[in-house]
Amino acid sequence: MASKKLEREIHSIKELTQLVKSLYLRFDGEDFVPLRVIMRPLKNSKTPAHHRYLFRCINEMHDAWIKKRGDDITKETLRLFIKYSVGFTEMMQVEGRIVELPKSIADNSDHVDSVEITKMVEFIKRYTAQELDFFIED
């Protein structure tokens, strides 16, 4: 019998349960073929919707910041504040010195994935609620 390679991405417990059930039903009894299951985390991909939501949250935080504090903080400064607050930085050598620089959150950046976007959104929502008395809707 030729070996058939089947690769599946599992994104939830429900999907994993369904896969195990289907394997059980398929190989129940004497026809069982030994299987090798390799589990590793998937790199969480990002979507344009993730980015739109992140930037909507940044814009709402910016508006709430100005309303509450009266500061004329720029959105770029606010993005830097968010990146440093959640540790979205990398160490680089610049002119012979090691410095901590923020990573890019641009849509075409390889630095940011959905996990990182989620961390930033959660920080923005928490900070905005606690410090700026404004609640950002989902």
Q: Where are the domains of the chain?
A: 48-132
**Tokens in use for 113?**
């994935």
113: Cβ contacts below 8 Å, ≥ 6 apart: 43, 44, 45, 46
Q: Which residue has the tokens 């930033």?
A: 120
Positions of the chain with pLDDT lower than 50, given as ranges? 1-2
pLDDT score of 11: 67
Helix, strand, or coil (residue 133): coil
Write down the pLDDT at residue 30. 63
CB-neighbour burial class of residue 42 (10 A; exposed 0-12, middle 13-18, buried 19+): exposed
**pTM of whole model > 0.85?**
no
**Predicted local distance difference test score (pLDDT) of residue 1:** 45
pLDDT score of 14? 76
Residue of 138, 122, 112, 123 lying closest to 44 (CA atoms): 112
pLDDT (0 to 100) of residue 72: 85
CB 102 within 8 A of CB 91: no
The pLDDT score that the predictor gives to residue 28 is: 60
Encoded amino acid at 85, one letter: S
